[in-house]
């Protein structure tokens, strides 16, 4: 997220004369100490602003229910580590290991959903970019307008439709709607148009490769950074999706982790001991997102830079 | 935020769908409303679904399932009612696939009734006879005072009492208040010590309702044909004035309820009392662990010296939702769930439910709560009193947003009741606000005649002088309107004709709908 590529090449491209190029290498052109420290200060403040809640989550998850209110909110207690593992143990054992089940559900909805969703979006965007056919623009515009419709607004119509075919309260009810990603199609089309040369496809055709084979062996490789980005977006969107499962699901065993934690949270007034479980659960539930980001970061950040320099 | 969006969209969909179904169904539905549908048992084994969020309910149901192989109940859990489950119920009723049974809190039950989301189970076996097993007022909540109607079985209740820090009161040499007057006096003494007597919960409408309840106020009444809405009766105003006074003098804090900050204020001795429901002890024991053993419990402070009134905060019922294929079996299960001693004991232990039936009052339990309390016998004594307490406030149909918004206004209006005149006869703005309640196609707002009130020049001047005052003044207007509900068919002559009798004997339980005439 934070890995900004070196900016030196860009500046040179900017056409600025190389008179002070030595200066450029060391600390950038005409950057006064003042403006630099101001920038650092602003960045520092914002970093603090964004990281404080996560820090709070981390410290608070090492406390028992009572300690949450009676100890310093942003620092650990004497017995932090023991309490943390105690909380973790209770989290996974509460309600016959319900939380583990929710994590698995989320992983299934988000992992498989994002994977299939990415493939569909990639194929769709690729077709729109690389094939000439009637109604191409019309289809693209319709898909694009789908970006504008908030998923929340679609949840209730979807519920009524799924009720008709008796699919509510099943995994399919959450899984199927998450396969479509208009934004993914848009991104795939733009990227395919820019990064998959038509000449390469012609060459592949001349060599006797079928369209499907070309797509999977040649084009997807070229589109890889875009695909990773789409996957990541989809993964995060499905993982954080809350309203659709809330409407569709009644059976606790089918809940994703977001809805499960929400359900627990709404029961705190009845069972206050859930408070610490909700907090530890929230911490655990963001770990997969962090892992996904860190693991895939080099793919998509390199993808963002690709094409900027010729 | 998301949930809010959902609510809005869902509400829109529901309203439009109801409007459509209202056109097609026409007269049939209104006829069906009066007489209970014959309730016949289904043949063969039956499977029921029951949506609840009460912890441990699955284990209670397990008990039933082992005893009743022919009627198997499957428990489904979700977030608590207002956090999404009610909205889901409405969606599911709309789509025709609602669960057979649902957990519904008393304040939400009338909404289900006016939107025709409940099965009338009065004709089902054993239901009518079960009335004796419940405290009268809880039964009133599930019948809405309609003849031959039972829409749910009462489950738990939240009788209120005052939790207080016995140690702090002793140390400071302050008498534990028994009346609201003493309470206000104690508040000043405690403020002098640098603490607050309590926290005023700005967002808990039902807490405020409990206060009005104790004072004998009545917000909603139903005479079988229409609903009376009256949020500014003298009883309600007395309560509002009282708290307004404490707020204006900064004698109570206004922390967001159930937040960490709020918990901490209990834990550090910043709050000396909490007038709360019976379930409040669990909240204290977990939120304020350092104070364990220092709390005691006493009856709510009284408006009259020597009074014995208490309010109620919370509680829910088990309702048979519209469209259930097996209402007879569902009713049987609901009745068992809320009258069987074993089931009640289990629900009390696992879910912390304070039972609403008479049967429930005899069960053991409440053990978990005692550890925070210094004197457990207080709670036992209180329990007895709760049972005998006379029922008062009934909850009615309301547009949630509107009711909450209006109460929000009452609470925000710091100067509202201190207006020189306090009342005004102008009610156009109020009418408009009431019209918003009537967005439901089956509800109609008919303004009720207002009491003849003095209208001084000062009040009009106040209105004109400041826009803020104009708004404030509206708060103090009597909010009275009759929400006529087309789906309620005409029944026998209104019981309110006996209003004269009621006046003579104020202690006699009032039939629903007679408050305005009798009061």
Given pLDDT bands bounded at 50, 70 and 90, which one contains residue A261? very high
Dump the DSSP string for A106-123.
HHIIIIIHHHHHHHHHHH
| pLDDT tops 80 at residue B405 | no
Nearest CA in chain B to A270: B352
Contact across the interface for B286 and A160, Cβ inside 8 Å: no
- A51: exposed, middle or buried (C-beta count within 10 Å: 0-12, 13-18, 19+)? exposed
Looking at the partner chain, which of A66, A268, A270 has a beta carbon nearest the beta carbon of B351?
A: A270
3-state SS, B251-310, equals: CCECCCCCCHHHHHHHHCCCECEEEEECCHHHHHHHHCHHHCCCEEEECCCECCCCCCCC
Q: What is the pLDDT of residue B224?
A: 64
Contact across the interface for A247 and B282, Cβ inside 8 Å: no
Distance CA A80, CA A200 (A): 59
| pLDDT tops 60 at residue B133 | yes
In the DSSP assignment, the letter for residue B223 is -
Q: Which residues of B touch A272 (CB under 8 A)?
A: 282-283, 285-287
Looking at the partner chain, which of B10, B79, B287 has a beta carbon nearest the beta carbon of A262?
A: B79
Q: What is the pLDDT of residue A126?
A: 93
pLDDT digits (tens, 9 = 90+) for A40-70: 999 999 999 999 999 999 998 888 877 777 7
Share of chain B above pLDDT 70, in %: 59
Contact across the interface for A263 and B79, Cβ inside 8 Å: yes
Q: Which residues of B touch A273 (CB under 8 A)?
A: 286
Distance CA A61, CA A81 (A): 10
| pLDDT tops 60 at residue B400 | no
| pLDDT tops 50 at residue A6 | no
What's the whole-number mean pLDDT along residues B17-27?
35
Given pLDDT bands bounded at 50, 70 and 90, which one contains residue B436? very low
- B401: exposed, middle or buried (C-beta count within 10 Å: 0-12, 13-18, 19+)? middle
Q: What is the pLDDT of residue B351?
A: 64
Looking at the partner chain, which of A65, A68, A160 has a beta carbon nearest the beta carbon of B95?
A: A160
| pLDDT tops 80 at residue B125 | yes
Residue with tokens 């299934």: A108
Nearest CA in chain A to B83: A266
Minimal CA separation from B158 to chain A, in Å: 12
Distance CA A288, CA B113 (A): 44
Given pLDDT bands bounded at 50, 70 and 90, which one contains residue B388? very low
Contact across the interface for A69 and B352, Cβ inside 8 Å: no
Backbone angles phi, psi at B238, to 5 degrees: -60, -45
What's the whole-number mean pLDDT along residues B407-421?
27
Confirm if B279 and B160 have CB atoms less than 8 A apart: no
| Beta-carbon-side half-sphere exposure of residue A291 (alpha carbons within 13 Å) | 8
Structure tokens at A214: 């070309």
What's CA B237's distance to the chain center, in Å?
18
What's the mean pLDDT when you consider all of chain A?
A: 83
DSSP, collapsed to helix, strand or coil, labels residue B174 as coil
Q: Do you know the residue count of chain A?
A: 310
Q: Which residues of A touch B288 (CB under 8 A)?
A: 66, 69
| pLDDT tops 80 at residue A84 | yes
- B450: exposed, middle or buried (C-beta count within 10 Å: 0-12, 13-18, 19+)? middle
What's the whole-number mean pLDDT along residues B98-121?
88
Q: Which of A16-25, A116-125, B324-333, B335-344 has the lowest mean pLDDT?
A: A16-25
Please list the alpha-helical segments (H only) found in chain A. Answer: 8-13, 21-27, 33-60, 65-70, 80-107, 113-130, 136-148, 151-164, 171-175, 182-195, 198-206, 211-214, 220-222, 224-240, 243-248, 257-265, 274-305
Checking A10-17 for CB contacts under 8 A at 24+ apart, the result is A10/A308, A10/A309, A13/A309
Q: What is the pLDDT of residue B439?
A: 30
State whether residue B47 sits within 8 Å of chain A by CB: no
State whether residue A83 sits within 8 Å of chain B by CB: no
pLDDT digits (tens, 9 = 90+) for B91-100: 899 888 899 9
Q: How many CB atoms lie within 10 A of CB A256?
A: 27
The residues that bridge with B446 in the sheet, in sequence order, are B482
Nearest CA in chain A to B284: A272
| pLDDT tops 70 at residue B219 | yes
| pLDDT tops 60 at residue A157 | yes
Contact across the interface for A69 and B97, Cβ inside 8 Å: no
Given pLDDT bands bounded at 50, 70 and 90, which one contains residue B362? very low
Q: What is the pLDDT of residue B435?
A: 37
Buried/exposed code over B452-477 (b: 16+ C-beta within 10 A; e: otherwise): eeeeeeebeebbeeeeebeebbbbbb
Q: Which of A263-272, B27-36, B230-239 has the lowest mean pLDDT?
A: B27-36
Between the alpha carbon of residue B130 and those of residues B343, B359, B389, the distances in Å are: 16, 11, 20
Q: What is the pLDDT of residue A113?
A: 94
Higher pLDDT, A239 or A71: A239
Higher pLDDT, A157 or B384: A157
Q: What is the pLDDT of residue B13?
A: 41
Given pLDDT bands bounded at 50, 70 and 90, which one contains residue A267? confident
What's the mean pLDDT when you consider all of chain B?
A: 66
Contact across the interface for B282 and A262, Cβ inside 8 Å: no
DSSP, collapsed to helix, strand or coil, labels residue A65 as helix
| pLDDT tops 80 at residue A201 | yes
Contact across the interface for B286 and A243, Cβ inside 8 Å: no
Residue whose C-alpha is closest to residue B441's, from B12, B19, B107: B19
Q: What is the pLDDT of residue B383?
A: 55
| pLDDT tops 60 at residue A137 | yes
Given pLDDT bands bounded at 50, 70 and 90, which one contains residue B235? confident
State whether residue B291 sits within 8 Å of chain A by CB: no
pLDDT digits (tens, 9 = 90+) for B244-265: 999 999 999 999 888 878 888 9
**Interface ipTM:** 0.73
| pLDDT tops 70 at residue B492 | no
Structure tokens at A160: 């009524």
Q: What pTM value is reported for the model?
A: 0.68
Q: Which residues of B touch A57 (CB under 8 A)?
A: none
Cβ contacts of A40 within 8 Å, gap of 6 or more: none
Q: Which residues of A touch B1 (CB under 8 A)?
A: none
Q: Which residues of A touch B77 (CB under 8 A)?
A: 250, 252, 263
Structure tokens at B39: 């309730």
Given pLDDT bands bounded at 50, 70 and 90, which one contains residue B27? very low
What's the whole-number mean pLDDT along residues B177-198?
93
Residue of A257, A266, A277 for testing the chain B interface, max B β-carbons within 10 Å: A266
Backbone angles phi, psi at A153, to 5 degrees: -70, -25
Distance CA B472, CA B455 (A): 16
Residue of A242, A244, A270, A278 for testing the chain B interface, max B β-carbons within 10 Å: A270
Scan residues 51-80 of B and list those with Cβ closer than 8 Å to A: 51, 53-55, 76-80
pLDDT digits (tens, 9 = 90+) for A223-255: 888 899 899 999 999 998 888 999 898 888 899
């Amino acid at each position: 997220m934070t890995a900004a590529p070196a900016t030196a090449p860009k500046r040179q491209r900017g056409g600025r004369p190389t008179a002070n190029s030595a200066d450029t290498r060391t600390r950038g052109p005409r950057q006064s100490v003042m403006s630099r420290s101001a920038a650092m200060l602003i960045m520092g403040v914002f970093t603090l602003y964004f990281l404080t809640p996560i820090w709070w989550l981390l410290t608070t998850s090492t406390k028992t229910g009572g300690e949450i209110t009676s100890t310093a909110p942003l620092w650990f207690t004497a017995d932090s580590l023991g309490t943390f593992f105690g909380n973790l143990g209770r989290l996974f054992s509460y309600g016959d290991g319900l939380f583990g089940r929710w994590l698995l559900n989320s992983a299934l909805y988000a992992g498989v959903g994002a994977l299939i969703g990415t493939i569909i979006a990639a194929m769709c965007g690729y077709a729109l970019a690389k094939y000439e056919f009637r109604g191409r623009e019309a289809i693209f515009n319709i898909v694009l307008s789908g970006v504008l419709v908030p998923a929340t607004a679609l949840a209730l119509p979807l519920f009524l439709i799924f009720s008709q075919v008796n699919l509510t309260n099943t995994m399919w009810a959450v899984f199927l709607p998450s396969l479509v990603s208009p934004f993914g199609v848009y991104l795939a089309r733009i990227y395919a148009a820019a990064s998959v040369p038509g000449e390469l496809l012609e060459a592949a055709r001349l060599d006797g490769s079928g369209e499907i084979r070309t797509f999977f062996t040649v084009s997807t490789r070229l589109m890889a950074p875009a695909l990773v980005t789409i996957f990541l977006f989809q993964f995060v969107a499905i993982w954080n999706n809350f309203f659709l499962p809330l409407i569709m699901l009644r059976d606790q065993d089918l809940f994703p982790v977001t809805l499960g934690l929400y359900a627990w949270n709404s029961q705190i007034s009845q069972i206050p001991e859930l408070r610490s479980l909700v907090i530890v659960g929230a911490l655990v539930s963001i770990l997969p997102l962090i892992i996904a980001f860190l693991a895939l970061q080099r793919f998509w950040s390199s993808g963002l830079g690709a094409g900027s320099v010729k | 935020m998301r949930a809010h969006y959902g609510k809005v969209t869902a509400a829109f969909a529901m309203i439009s769908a109801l409007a459509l179904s209202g056109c097609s169904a026409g007269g049939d539905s209104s006829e069906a409303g009066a007489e209970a549908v014959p309730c016949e048992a289904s043949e063969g084994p039956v499977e029921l679904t029951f949506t609840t969020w009460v912890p441990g309910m699955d284990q209670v149901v397990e008990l039933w399932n082992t005893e009743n192989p022919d009627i198997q109940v499957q428990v489904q859990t979700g977030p608590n009612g207002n956090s999404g489950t009610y909205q889901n119920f409405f969606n599911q009723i709309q789509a025709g696939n609602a669960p057979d049974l649902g957990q519904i809190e008393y304040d939400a039950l009338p909404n289900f009734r006016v939107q025709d989301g409940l099965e009338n189970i009065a004709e089902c076996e054993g239901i009518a006879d079960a009335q004796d097993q419940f405290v009268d007022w809880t039964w009133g909540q599930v019948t809405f005072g309609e003849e031959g109607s039972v829409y749910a079985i009462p489950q738990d209740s939240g009788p209120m009492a005052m939790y207080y820090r016995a140690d702090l009161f002793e140390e400071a040499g302050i008498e534990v208040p028994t009346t609201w007057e003493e309470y206000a006096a104690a508040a000043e003494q405690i403020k002098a010590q640098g603490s607050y007597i309590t926290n005023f919960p700005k967002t808990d409408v039902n807490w405020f309702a409990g206060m009005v309840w104790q004072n004998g106020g009545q917000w909603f009444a139903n005479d079988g044909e229409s609903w009376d809405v009256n949020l500014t009766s003298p009883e309600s105003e007395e309560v509002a004035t009282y708290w307004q006074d404490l707020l204006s003098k900064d004698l109570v804090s206004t922390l967001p309820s159930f937040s960490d900050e709020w918990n901490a204020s209990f834990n550090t001795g910043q709050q000396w009392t909490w007038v709360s429901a019976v379930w409040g002890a669990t909240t204290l024991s977990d939120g304020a662990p350092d104070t364990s053993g220092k709390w005691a419990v006493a009856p709510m402070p009284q408006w009259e010296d020597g009074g014995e009134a208490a309010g109620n905060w919370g509680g829910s019922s088990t309702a048979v939702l519209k469209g259930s294929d097996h209402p007879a079996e569902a009713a049987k299960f609901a009745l068992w769930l809320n009258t069987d001693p074993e089931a009640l004991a289990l629900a009390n232990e696992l879910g912390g439910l304070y039972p609403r039936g008479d049967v429930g009052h005899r069960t053991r339990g409440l053990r978990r709560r005692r550890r925070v309390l210094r004197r457990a016998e207080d709670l036992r004594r209180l329990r007895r009193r709760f049972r005998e307490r006379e029922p008062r406030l009934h909850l009615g149909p309301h547009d949630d947003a509107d009711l909450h918004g209006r109460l929000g206004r009452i609470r925000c209006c710091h100067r509202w009741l201190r207006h020189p005149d306090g009342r005004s006869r102008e009610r156009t703005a109020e009418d408009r606000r009431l019209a918003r309640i009537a967005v439901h196609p089956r509800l109609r707002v008919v303004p009720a005649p207002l009491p003849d009130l003095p209208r001084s020049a000062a009040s009009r001047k106040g209105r004109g002088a400041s826009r803020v005052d104009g708004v404030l003044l509206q708060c103090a207007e009597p909010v009275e309107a009759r929400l006529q509900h087309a789906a309620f068919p005409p029944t026998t002559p209104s019981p309110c004709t006996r209003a004269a009798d009621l006046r003579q004997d104020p202690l006699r339980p009032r039939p629903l709908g007679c408050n305005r005439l009798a009061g």
